């Protein structure tokens, strides 16, 4: 697998906590008529926060995880499933994911999504953000960004002074 690094500064999309929360709620509005869902499955680590927000808003009490590692900081490497869905959650989805909701923060190249889709082929797959290469693998998303855009999520950043755009700020 080839590795991709962070793009140039003009292709960075910083997302604040407020914006991310609004986008997660917008995702929930799109999902609200599609259920009911027996459980929410968050893809770790980025999918944990949106999975929690979506589960709260949909009043789903069972939250499970699929733990897939594909990024080391800002470089995409080989994929590994560290933890699959529990047997109890798998049983709720009839072994194929029917009636389950998979949630992640972003679908990028689609490599992580493909692995999770293979585990739960009949689940509904939702992400907050989608890039063109991964978009065909998800059923519902809120915002599409270009393939060469790097999203800085709120948990990736800290508060710091930002110079005005005219003075070289992002």
Looking at the annotation, which residues are catalytic? 104-105, 108
In DSSP terms, 120 is beta-bridged to none
The number of CA neighbours under 13 Å toward the Cβ of 76 is: 16
Spatial separation of the C-alpha atoms in residues 163 and 58, rounded to whole Å: 40
Going by their DSSP bridges, the two strands 75-83 and 63-72 should be labelled as antiparallel
Structure tokens at 109: 């190249």
Angle between helices 17-31 and 48-58 (to 10 degrees): 50
- Report d(CA 141, CA 123) in Å as an integer: 15
């Amino acid at each position: 697998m080839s590795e991709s690094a962070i793009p140039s500064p003009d292709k960075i999309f910083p997302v604040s906590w407020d914006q991310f929360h609004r986008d997660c709620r917008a995702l929930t509005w799109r999902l609200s008529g599609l259920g009911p869902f027996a459980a929410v499955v968050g893809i770790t680590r980025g999918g944990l926060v949106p999975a929690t927000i979506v589960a709260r808003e949909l009043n789903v009490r069972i939250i499970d995880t699929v733990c897939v590692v594909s990024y080391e900081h800002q470089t995409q490497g080989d994929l590994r499933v560290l933890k699959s869905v529990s047997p109890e959650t798998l049983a709720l989805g009839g072994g194929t994911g029917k009636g389950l909701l998979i949630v992640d923060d972003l679908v990028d190249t689609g490599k992580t999504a493909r692995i999770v889709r293979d585990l739960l082929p009949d689940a509904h797959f939702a992400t907050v953000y989608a890039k063109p290469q991964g978009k065909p693998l998800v059923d519902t998303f809120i915002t599409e960004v270009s393939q060469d855009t790097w999203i800085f999520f709120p948990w990736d950043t800290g508060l710091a002074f930002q110079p005005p755009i005219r003075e070289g700020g992002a």
